Amino acid sequence: MRPAVLATLCLGALVACDSTSSQISPVTVQWMDWPAEVNAGEPFRTRIVVWGVCALNPRFRAGASADQSAVTFAPYFLIDDDHILCLGATAQTLVVTALDTAGTAPGLLAPFSRTYEMRATTSANVSAAALLGSFPVRTFGEVTVRTSGSDATRRNAAGVVYLERDTAGCARVRPLGLYTQGAALVLEDQADTAGLSNAFARGYIYEAAAPVCGETRVFHLVSMN
């Protein structure tokens, strides 16, 4: 894995526009979902779940970039030097809760149908990586780019999840850090649950023909590790 680029050159202008005293606080991506297919040259919205920071006025930036093989999100916050006290803080910033937000991926070139990888900064040891000022980059999945006529009915998805069951025994996967009622996704295969707690899962979200646990919007598990 390669280190996430904090992009001194491209971030410098943003910092100057926000505040002369702003500092960059990089964060990791816990979950990401995006259109499985997009049209060439058209920017597309990607949902990302990141850890927040302990600051009075944090300004989130998705840090999206693209090259000839991949789209990469290296999100960060611009924070002021406000010297606030965060309970349990061991570094300049402190992970406090998850932020469910979005970033826009740039339009991708494709003279014919092809795939790009979807990548984002992530780390198993957030505190250590924060002290170093950078995070490794992980491949979350792929996006198919078509010259035209892309199918918008399916969203690819990946990230760290926890397995949970409701009172009826229905299995759902919940992205790490999200606690709202609608954040958990019904698992399409209710029998395929082994090892899903605190796992990095890859799959896709779609509308099933028949309801599962009373819902048609389900998560199809492809792989996990």
Residue 2 covered by a domain: no
pLDDT at 133: 53
Q: Are 110 and 145 in contact (CB under 8 A)?
A: yes
Q: Are 69 and 59 in contact (CB under 8 A)?
A: no
Residue 3 covered by a domain: no
Residue 23: CB partners within 8 Å, gap ≥ 6?
78, 79, 80, 81, 92
User: Of the residues 146, 171, 199, which one is the last residue of a structural domain?
Assistant: 146
Categorise residue 8: left if φ over 0, alpha if ψ from -120 to 50, beta otherwise.
alpha
- 6-53 pLDDT, tens digit each: 333 333 333 334 445 678 889 999 999 999 999 999 999 999 999 888
Higher pLDDT, 135 or 140: 140
- 182-193 pLDDT, tens digit each: 899 999 999 999
3 state DSSP class of 52: coil
Residue 1 covered by a domain: no
Q: Is the pLDDT of residue 114 over 80?
A: yes
Q: Are 200 and 158 in contact (CB under 8 A)?
A: yes
Mean pLDDT, range 56-64, rounded to an integer: 91
Tell whether 141 and 183 lie within a shared domain. Answer: no
pLDDT > 70: percent of the chain: 79
Tell whether 140 and 164 lie within a shared domain. Answer: no
Residue 79 covered by a domain: yes
Domain hosting 171: range is: 155-224
Residue 76, number of CB atoms within 10 A of its CB: 25
CATH number at residue 218: 2.40.50
CA distance 151 to 55: 40
Q: How many domains is the chain built from?
A: 2
